[in-house]
Amino acid sequence: MNTKLNIVPFSGAEDIKLHLEGVSHAYGDGESELTVLEDLSCSVKSGELVAVVGPSGSGKSTFLSIAGALLTPSRGEVHIGGRSLSGMNERQLADLRLHEIGFIFQGANLLPYLKVEEQLRFVAKLGRADKEQAARRAAELLERLGLTARRKHYPDKLSGGERQRVAVARALMNDPSVILADEPTASLDADRGRDVTKLLAERIKAEGKAGVIVTHDERILPYCDRVLRLESGRLREG
Amino acid sequence: MFLALREIRFSKTRYVLIVTIMLLVSFLVLFVTGLANGLGNATSSAVRNMPADHFIVQKDSDDRFARSALHGEQVKEAQNAVGQESAEPLGVQMTTVTRKDSDSKIDIALFGVQADGWLVPQTVEGQGLNQTAKGTVLADRHLAESGVAIGDTIVDSATGLEWTVGGFTENQSYSHMPAVWMNDADWAAYRSEIMAARGGEADTAYNAIALRVSGSQAEELRASVTDADVITKSQAISAIPGHKAEQSSLMMMIAFLYVISAFVLAVFFYVITIQKTGQFGILKAIGAKTRYLAGSVVAQVLVLSVGSLAVGVGLVLVMKAMLPAAMPFALDGGTILLSCSLFLAVALIGGLASVVKVAKTDALDAIGRAGA
């Protein structure tokens, strides 16, 4: 069994899993340059769930892409799980995403042709994890997220809430440092949205991950430890 | 493989349809290949199976044995140049015979050779050619289909000469006619009858000289022989009446079938890949490498092609067993293997566009998307 699994408490400021320092990003070049993020800094500690809210066009997607190692910022530093992203090539970034970041997307975005259990085994396989260990990890996650009865089902036989729970399980499967969720409740009704967020918050605390939810769904904010507001490219605590 | 096989399992109908199309195309490729080989054998096996590598024919005969006439002097000249052992005279004449006491005519190709030479094909039944047994010939087994058995006498329609079939050989056809082999004494007798009927032309003893020589010897000979030309075996084969026309049209069909299968696969996989662009974006975002995803596409192409090829080969073998013996169809293991590898190569080329598409998909697409 993976020992990292049982870490519950976090030990203060030293245990920062996600750290952005002076990050700016601009699209285009020269005169038509459009600055989306400006001098943005933030840290997320182990076991902490942070919500990033803001109106559309405020740069939420860009923020998430940069924090998720999908986009290299024009300026500034990103650290994930204690490692700096600057200077990494495509392959190294893909490896980092695989092992250190768990993504939860707007729609669940599961592969339609894999059964629930296989969705998890697939990411473990991508990460070259030991088969037996992966099977145990998958069984445990499905148990915790109340999906054990559904493990042999294809995504199209699941409800929206169940699908998003599978996505949460998939994000956690490779035991990453950081969980990034992109509007995870956008396609769910209020109750299901709250359920999924609650489960996500539980797992993040239980497993000591750093969680970031980008959302405009105010109803889920009570489950988050901190709320950051992104307005015209600047981040402020609120 | 993990994704490739599970996707096929999930979308069975879709993949069964494409396998069916590929199966039909591969079956057709193998069948037409077999037919081309069979027809090729029917027009040329008597020449193809000769242990010769070059032939001397008369100048301006268009490489055709039937149009070529060489006299005894030229045979001696060639034998002096490359050695008695390496040059053997060959007479070729198409004619019509009847079985004695029967009226039905049979087209045959007469081959006049030295009975103790290396041009004589192997006897599979009865007795072979013999220098002293006058009037005894060795016939291709296909002659038996026209009702001629060992010991039967056949009568030449043009000259009235009679020959006794002493034995059978196999795979000796010339221009869709069974070959009948006779010794040079019988050949000389036959020629003189023909010449007498035509009215005293010069002595044209043979049609060609078969050579067993190296390329450089052939070059030397080409320069030295008078009023004659040295051609390769493949030149001689493609000059056999009907051979080139049959082979080139069948080859064109086969080539088109390969091109068609490449395009069918390319379109199928490209459309599927475009449908899945969102999925590929998500997969790249969660850390799948382009190589893994491209490998998955290639694995699918391979699984589908190998599957349809296996069934296609099976069907062709069943078909081959059921075909009537008279149907010219020849397909050996080597040809099947070659066709299958060519088909696989073509299938992989077809999958290339999809691989490029996968490589171009950006992981950033995954953010801000509602569905895959």
Nearest CB to A70; choose among B6, B288, B367 = B367
Nearest CB to B372; choose among A91, A103, A109 = A109
* Burial profile B152-187: b = 16 or more Cβ within 10 angstroms, e = fewer: bebbbeebebebebbbbbebbbbbbbbbbbbbbbbb
The alpha carbon of B292 is separated from its chain's Cα centroid by a whole number of angstroms, namely: 42
**Residue A163 binned pLDDT confidence (cut-offs 50, 70, 90):** very high
Q: Is the pLDDT of residue B371 over 80?
A: no
Residues 6+ apart with CB under 8 A from B339: B29, B30, B33
Q: H/E element holding B331?
A: none
Q: Which residues of B touch A71 (CB under 8 A)?
A: 364
Q: Where are the domains of chain B?
A: 2-44+244-366, 69-206
Let me know: does B204 contact B69? Beta carbons within 8 Å.
Answer: yes
Res A136: pLDDT: 94
Res A84: pLDDT: 92
Compute the distance between CA of residue B273 and CA of residue B278 in angstroms, rounded to an integer: 10
Q: Is the pLDDT of residue A17 over 90?
A: yes
Query: Mean pLDDT in chain B?
Result: 90
Res B220: pLDDT: 87
Q: Which residues of A touch B364 (CB under 8 A)?
A: 65, 70-71
* 28-67 of A, contacting B, C-beta below 8 A: 61, 64-65
Q: Is the pLDDT of residue A2 over 60?
A: no
Q: Is the pLDDT of residue A10 over 80?
A: no
pLDDT digits (tens, 9 = 90+) for A194-234: 999 999 999 999 999 999 999 988 899 999 999 999 988 88
| CB of B3 less than 8 A from some CB of A | yes
pLDDT digits (tens, 9 = 90+) for B238-254: 999 889 999 999 999 99
Q: Pick the residue from chain B with its C-alpha nearest to A98.
A: B287
Q: Which amino acid, residue A238?
A: G
Q: Quick one: average pLDDT of A9-38?
A: 79
* 287-316 of B, contacting A, C-beta below 8 A: 287-289, 292
Q: Is the pLDDT of residue A8 over 70?
A: no
Query: Mean pLDDT in chain A?
Result: 88
Res B367: pLDDT: 75
Let me know: does B112 contact B180? Beta carbons within 8 Å.
Answer: no
CB-CB under 8 Å, B2 with A94: no
| CB of B12 less than 8 A from some CB of A | no
Q: Is the pLDDT of residue A7 over 50?
A: no
Q: How far is B292 from chain A (nearest CA, A)?
A: 9
CB-CB under 8 Å, B3 with A122: yes
Nearest CB to A97; choose among B6, B10, B286 = B286
Q: Print the domain residue range for A179.
A: 3-237
* SS3 at position B15: helix
Q: Which amino acid, residue A70?
A: L
Res B13: pLDDT: 95
More confident residue, B71 or B32: B32
* Burial profile A156-185: b = 16 or more Cβ within 10 angstroms, e = fewer: eebebbbbbbbbbbbbbbbbbbbbbbbbbb
- What secondary structure letter does DSSP report for B165? E
ipTM: 0.87
Q: Which of B5, B284, B286, B296 to mutate to test the interface with A (most CBs of A within 10 A)?
A: B286
CA distances from B286 to A62, A106, B364 (A): 17, 14, 11
Compute the distance between CA of residue B268 and CA of residue B19 in angstroms, rounded to an integer: 11
Which CATH number fits the domain that encloses residue A38?
3.40.50.300
Compute the distance between CA of residue B56 and CA of residue B228 in angstroms, rounded to an integer: 7
Q: Which of A27, A70, A89, A180 to mutate to test the interface with B (most CBs of B within 10 A)?
A: A70
DSSP track, B205-272: -BSEEEE---HHHHHHHHHHSSSEEEEEHHHHHHTSTTHHHHHHHHHHHHHHHHHHHHHHHHHHHHHH
The alpha carbon of B241 is separated from its chain's Cα centroid by a whole number of angstroms, namely: 15
Q: Pick the residue from chain B with its C-alpha nearest to A215.
A: B368
Query: What share of chain A has pLDDT > 70, as a percent?
Result: 94
Structure tokens at A185: 């409740």
Nearest CB to B367; choose among A65, A102, A186 = A65
Q: Which residues of B touch A96 (CB under 8 A)?
A: 287
Let me know: does B146 contact B106? Beta carbons within 8 Å.
Answer: yes
**Residue A3 binned pLDDT confidence (cut-offs 50, 70, 90):** very low
| CB of A85 less than 8 A from some CB of B | no
Res A33: pLDDT: 82
A and B: number of Cβ contacts within 8 A: 88
Q: How far is A146 from chain B (nearest CA, A)?
A: 23
Structure tokens at A134: 């992966």
More confident residue, B196 or B356: B356
Q: Which residues of A touch B284 (CB under 8 A)?
A: 94
**Sign (positive/negative) of CA torsion B160, B170, B176, B46?**
negative
| Residue appearing with tokens 């699984």 | B303
Res B265: pLDDT: 84
CB-CB under 8 Å, A182 with B367: yes
Q: Is the pLDDT of residue B202 over 70?
A: no
| CB of B370 less than 8 A from some CB of A | yes
A89 CB-side CA count, 13 A: 2
| CB of B367 less than 8 A from some CB of A | yes
More confident residue, A34 or A9: A34
CB-CB under 8 Å, A118 with B287: no
Q: A6-10, A24-28, B39-43, B229-233: which range is least confident on average?
A: A6-10
Nearest CB to A114; choose among B6, B288, B368 = B6
CB-CB under 8 Å, A65 with B6: no
Q: Is the pLDDT of residue A80 over 50?
A: yes
Q: Pick the residue from chain B with its C-alpha nearest to A122.
A: B2
Q: Quick one: average pLDDT of A123-141?
A: 93
Domain count, chain A: 1
**Residue A109 binned pLDDT confidence (cut-offs 50, 70, 90):** confident
Let me know: does B51 contact B118? Beta carbons within 8 Å.
Answer: yes
Q: Which residues of A touch B279 (CB under 8 A)?
A: 109, 111
Query: What share of chain B has pLDDT > 70, as a percent?
Result: 97
Q: Is the pLDDT of residue B1 over 90?
A: no
Query: What share of chain A has pLDDT > 90, as a percent?
Result: 68
CB-CB under 8 Å, B287 with A105: no
Q: Is the pLDDT of residue B372 over 60?
A: no
Q: Quick one: average pLDDT of B97-123?
A: 92
**Residue B277 binned pLDDT confidence (cut-offs 50, 70, 90):** confident
Q: Is the pLDDT of residue B227 over 90?
A: no
Res A11: pLDDT: 44
Res B201: pLDDT: 61
